[in-house]
Amino acid sequence: MKHAFLITLLCILCCSPGSARDLVRGYRGFVEWDNAIGKTDYWNDEILDYDKDTLWFLGLSTSHGFQFNPHLYIGIGCMLSCANPTGDITIPVFADIRYDAKFGKFTPFVDFRGGFYSDGTSYGGLYITPTIGYSFQHAKKINFNLGLGVTLRDVKVFYSPEYESERKMNTLFTIRFSIDFK
């Protein structure tokens, strides 16, 4: 079922006749709804130890920066993300680099975010998320964007009773819906 949905979504994106507005030099901002799912190491209060299970991270993010030319955007942003079913909250802060292409009416983009996140403890870590997607024009100064990507999160896992730790990189599949404005 999941595969059929993703294949249908990709076909719609590739065949869509809409194109995004032309980008001009100046301020550009994004408001985004992020979804990330994958096997993740997390602290389980029931067993008082670390566990690895599938978690769904649901978040809202914003990024603001400068559009240097019709293709290159560089900005900074932050996100508030909550993990389901654990309820853990993370706050990534990141640099955002985006390349918008335009091939006739076909308007794909590539986006790369890199930074760090905090999870309410001192054990936050590295946050990296590359995304590819498609822009849809809605109004003169607004575009809708749909992106698919991967989120890499660096997690510090402690082993008791010695309190030794190791860092692990968790990989999450990401879908991002956004609105960009000028």
List, for residues 147-175, the tens digit of each pLDDT value.
999 999 887 766 655 666 677 788 999 99
The structure tokens 């997390």 sit at 42
DSSP-derived pairing of the beta strands 108-118 and 125-139:
antiparallel
pLDDT of residue 99: 97
pLDDT band at 6 (very low <50, low <70, confident <90, very high): very low
* Mean predicted confidence (pLDDT) in 133-141: 83
Write out pLDDT tens, residues 18-69.
Answer: 444 457 789 999 999 999 998 876 666 665 666 677 888 999 999 999 999 9
pLDDT band at 182 (very low <50, low <70, confident <90, very high): confident
pLDDT of residue 121: 62
* Of 182 and 28, the one with more pLDDT: 28
The pTM score is 0.78
How does DSSP classify residue 141? Answer: T
Contacts 24+ apart (CB under 8 A), 1-9: 9/146
φ/ψ of 162, rounded to 5, equals -75, -15
pLDDT of residue 92: 94
Write out pLDDT tens, residues 67-109.
Answer: 999 999 999 999 999 988 878 888 999 999 999 998 888 899 9
φ/ψ of 23, rounded to 5, equals -90, 135
Rounded to 5°, angle at Cα 34 from 54 and 178: 160
pLDDT above 70 coverage of the chain, percent? 75
* Of 5 and 115, the one with more pLDDT: 115
Q: Tell me what the pLDDT averaged over the chain comes to.
A: 82
pLDDT of residue 119: 79
